[in-house]
């Protein structure tokens, strides 16, 4: 299962230490990193000129190796130090001295104003970010921060490669890289969300052929197509709609009408045999015309929801609650009753707003928050910098969590978090999350276990977005089109079985 294991920074740093204990010198490791990165660089169609931005630690040391090896291959190379040369120490200092024996200009950035920095950056095709690696503490400061801003300002028209991790990946402004060559192991800060977006395409530079067992237990697993194929519901040739699974959807309000329709569409397009939409008349009035396959249940108030839940419980195994429900007292009452559903439930949108109130604590449920919703559930703590921590905290409290965004995360109580590496900005359109929650609810109703249903739903939703982006462009896709793509994506996955 899952071919790409991701590790906390500390585990990869411990690997470095173990390799050194086993007799490989730190200098040799630095050489291996530099060599691996240069091999990668030489495979790219580049104009053979590089500016290496180097920091005072070992990340800078990797940069010095890269500078030397590129120079040896006839590249035009300049090294720009964020610090006084005398501050480089240990293996980095050794490599800086070796560089001094070659005709490579090594200059300090401090005396250069923004214009001079811009000129220097613009006169090289490749910019190598070797400012901060896994030893970074907090947001970039001082000269490092100034250099990062300059790289980002000048990055159009040039190529930016980050060594190990993009500087600033864990706080403040980070280098926006085209490639990140990460050494020894895949590192969590660039696995998902903001860090992953900064990293661009990530390439692993192996440190040693015996490294894998030394890294220990992975902290996250990136799913591959063959993993999610195993999550597909077991369909049968003699299936009838009752066996496909039914979803009761409590969604929509006078103010937000489309969300409920999109959630129901997502559920039916993901294969639900029954979608019952309990909503306000304003939503149900258009249901017959826009989605005649769904069943309408007028929902005035909390008492009505109790009756509807009792009526449909035998045919709907899953409750989906929250899309476009609004944040008024009516919605609160509905969530209170919804939390008493005695089967699997999935909470999204405004349902998440009310979740956690004293009388709205479902025993175990699924959540599909985006970062804003996760922050609110966590009492304002932003999950942007540590999405893993946020997803794990929510899973401990509620059960199963899909933390949405670029390379969404799935966390559960008893499993290593999963990374779903599918989906792109095509999906950042209104209603896209409603389609996703409908799809996940349908998969739950088909009997797929919670975390697998969330991961499979996010995977299919992501692939649908990518396909639409390829065919029609990444801007201006409508959420219902994402839903309508789901059958083809499921067919592909099923066909590959």
Ligand X SMILES: NC(=O)C1=CN([C@@H]2O[C@H](COP(=O)(O)OP(=O)(O)OC[C@H]3O[C@@H](n4cnc5c(N)ncnc54)[C@H](O)[C@@H]3O)[C@@H](O)[C@H]2O)[C@@H](O)CC1
Ligand Y SMILES: Nc1ncnc2c1ncn2[C@@H]1O[C@H](COP(=O)(O)OP(=O)(O)O)[C@@H](O)[C@H]1O
Cβ distance to ligand X smaller for residue 135 or 430: 135
Q: What is the dihedral of CA 262, 268, 273, 275, to 10 degrees?
A: 10
CB of 24 to ligand X, least distance (A): 9
Sites for ligand X among residues 182-221 (CB under 6 A): 183
What residues does 159 pair with on adjacent strands? 126
Side-chain-side CA neighbours of 312 within 13 Å: the count stands at 28
Tokens 């390799």 belong to 19
The answer to whether 351 contacts ligand Y (rule: CB under 6 A) is: no
Tokens 């489309």 belong to 258
Cβ distance to ligand X smaller for residue 31 or 481: 31
Cα 450 to Cα 443: distance, rounded to the nearest angstrom: 9
Sites for ligand Y among residues 385-444 (CB under 6 A): 404-406, 408, 423-425, 427-428, 430-434, 436
The answer to whether 256 contacts ligand Y (rule: CB under 6 A) is: no
Identify the helix (H) or strand (E) that includes residue 181: strand 179-183
The answer to whether the annotation marks 473 as part of a ligand binding site is no
- Residue 364 interacting partner from ligand Y, ligand X, K ion, none (CB closer than 5 to 8 Å by kind): none
The answer to whether the annotation marks 406 as part of a ligand binding site is yes
Q: Token pair of 100, please?
A: 């001094």
- Residue 141 interacting partner from K ion, ligand Y, ligand X, none (CB closer than 5 to 8 Å by kind): ligand X
- Residue 167 interacting partner from ligand Y, ligand X, K ion, none (CB closer than 5 to 8 Å by kind): K ion
The answer to whether the annotation marks 59 as part of a ligand binding site is yes
Cα 129 to Cα 486: distance, rounded to the nearest angstrom: 40
The answer to whether the annotation marks 177 as part of a ligand binding site is no
Tokens 């530079």 belong to 205
Eight-state DSSP code of residue 477: -
The answer to whether 497 contacts ligand X (rule: CB under 6 A) is: no
The answer to whether 324 contacts ligand Y (rule: CB under 6 A) is: no
String of b and e for 164-196 (b: at least 16 CB within 10 Å)?
Answer: bbbbbbbebebbbbbbbbbbbbbbbbbbbbbbb
- Residue 136 interacting partner from K ion, ligand Y, ligand X, none (CB closer than 5 to 8 Å by kind): ligand X
- Residue 129 interacting partner from ligand X, ligand Y, K ion, none (CB closer than 5 to 8 Å by kind): K ion
Cα 54 to Cα 52: distance, rounded to the nearest angstrom: 6
- Given the rule CB under 5 A, which residues bind K ion? 129, 162-163, 167
Q: How far apart are the first and last CA of the chain?
A: 15
Q: Token pair of 294, please?
A: 């769904």
> Whose CA is closest to 350, among 338, 342, 340?
338
DSSP E strands, 237-344: 246-250, 274-279, 295-298, 318-321
Sites for ligand Y among residues 442-471 (CB under 6 A): 461
Whole-angstrom CA distances from 334 to 147, 217, 300, 313, 328 are 52, 42, 10, 16, 10
The answer to whether 487 contacts ligand X (rule: CB under 6 A) is: no
Cα 349 to Cα 326: distance, rounded to the nearest angstrom: 9
- By CB atoms closer than 10 A (0-12, 13-18, 19+), residue 74 is exposed
The answer to whether the annotation marks 139 as part of a ligand binding site is yes
The answer to whether 175 contacts ligand Y (rule: CB under 6 A) is: no
- Residue 405 interacting partner from ligand Y, ligand X, K ion, none (CB closer than 5 to 8 Å by kind): ligand Y
- Residue 406 interacting partner from ligand X, ligand Y, K ion, none (CB closer than 5 to 8 Å by kind): ligand Y
Sites for ligand X among residues 128-187 (CB under 6 A): 132-141, 144, 163-164, 183
- Residue 434 interacting partner from ligand Y, ligand X, K ion, none (CB closer than 5 to 8 Å by kind): ligand Y
Cβ distance to K ion smaller for residue 33 or 162: 162
The answer to whether the annotation marks 129 as part of a ligand binding site is yes
Q: Token pair of 220, please?
A: 């996250």
- Residue 431 interacting partner from ligand Y, ligand X, K ion, none (CB closer than 5 to 8 Å by kind): ligand Y
CB of 238 to ligand Y, least distance (A): 34
The pairing of beta strand 4-7 with beta strand 220-222: antiparallel
CB-CB contact of 170 with 384 (8 Å): no
The answer to whether 266 contacts ligand Y (rule: CB under 6 A) is: no
Sites for ligand X among residues 6-45 (CB under 6 A): 16, 26, 29-30, 33
Cβ distance to ligand Y smaller for residue 124 or 370: 370
The answer to whether the annotation marks 434 as part of a ligand binding site is yes
Cβ distance to ligand X smaller for residue 56 or 191: 56
Cα 383 to Cα 88: distance, rounded to the nearest angstrom: 34
CB-CB contact of 457 with 440 (8 Å): yes
CB of 291 to ligand Y, least distance (A): 17
The count of chain residues that interact with ligand X, using the rule CB under 6 A, is 27
Q: Which residues are annotated as a binding site for K(+)?
A: 59, 129, 167
Residues at the interface with ligand Y (CB under 6 A) = 370, 404-406, 408, 423-425, 427-428, 430-434, 436, 461
Q: Which residues are annotated as a binding site for AMP?
A: 404-408, 433
Residues at the interface with ligand X (CB under 6 A) = 16, 26, 29-30, 33, 55-62, 132-141, 144, 163-164, 183
């Amino acid at each position: 299962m899952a071919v790409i294991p991701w590790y906390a920074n500390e585990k990869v740093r411990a690997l470095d230490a173990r390799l050194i204990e086993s007799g490989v010198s730190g200098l040799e490791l630095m050489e291996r990193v530099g060599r691996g990165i240069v091999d990668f660089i030489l495979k790219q169609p580049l104009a053979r000129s590089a500016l290496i931005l180097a920091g005072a630690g070992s990340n800078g040391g990797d940069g010095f190796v890269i500078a030397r090896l590129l120079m040896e291959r006839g590249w035009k190379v300049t090294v720009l130090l964020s610090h006084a040369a005398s501050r480089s120490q240990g293996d980095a200092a050794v490599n800086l001295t070796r560089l001094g024996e070659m005709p490579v200009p090594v200059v300090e950035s401090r005396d250069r104003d923004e214009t001079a920095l811009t000129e220097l950056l613009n006169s090289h095709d490749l910019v190598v970010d070797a400012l901060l690696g896994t030893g970074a503490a907090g947001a970039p400061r001082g000269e490092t921060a100034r250099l990062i801003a300059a790289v980002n300002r000048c990055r159009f028209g040039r190529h930016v490669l980050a060594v190990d991790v993009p500087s600033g990946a864990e706080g403040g402004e980070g280098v926006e890289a085209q490639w990140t060559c990460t050494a020894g192991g895949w590192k969590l800060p660039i696995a998902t969300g903001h860090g992953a977006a900064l990293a661009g395409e990530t390439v692993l530079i192996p440190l040693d052929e015996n490294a894998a067992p030394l890294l220990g237990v992975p902290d996250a697993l990136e799913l591959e197509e063959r993993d999610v194929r195993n999550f597909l519901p077991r369909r049968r040739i003699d299936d009838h709609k009752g066996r496909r699974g039914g979803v009761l959807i409590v969604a929509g309000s006078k103010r937000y009408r489309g969300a409920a329709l999109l959630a129901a569409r997502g559920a039916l397009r993901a294969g639900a045999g029954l979608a019952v939409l309990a909503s306000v008349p304003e939503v149900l009035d258009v249901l017959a015309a826009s989605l005649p396959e769904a069943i309408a249940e007028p929902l005035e108030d909390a008492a009505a929801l109790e009756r509807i839940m009792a009526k449909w419980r035998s045919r709907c195994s899953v409750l989906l609650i929250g899309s476009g429900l609004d944040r008024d007292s009516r919605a609160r009452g509905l969530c209170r009753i919804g939390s008493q559903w005695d089967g699997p439930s999935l909470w999204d949108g405004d349902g998440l707003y009310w979740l956690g109130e004293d009388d709205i604590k479902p025993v175990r449920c699924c959540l599909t928050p985006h970062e804003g919703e996760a922050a609110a559930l966590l009492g304002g703590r932003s999950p942007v910098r540590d999405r893993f921590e946020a997803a794990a905290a929510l899973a401990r409290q509620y059960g199963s969590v899909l933390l949405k965004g670029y390379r969404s995360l799935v966390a559960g109580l008893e499993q290593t978090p999963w990374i779903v590496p599918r989906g792109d900005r095509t999906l950042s359109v209104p209603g896209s999350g409603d389609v996703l929650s409908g799809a996940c609810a349908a998969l739950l109703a088909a009997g797929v276990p919670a975390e697998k249903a969330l991961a499979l739903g996010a995977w299919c939703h992501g692939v649908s977005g990518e396909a639409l982006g390829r065919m029609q462009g990444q801007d201006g896709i409508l959420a219902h089109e994402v839903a309508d793509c789901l059958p083809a994506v499921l067919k592909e996955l099923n066909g590959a079985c």
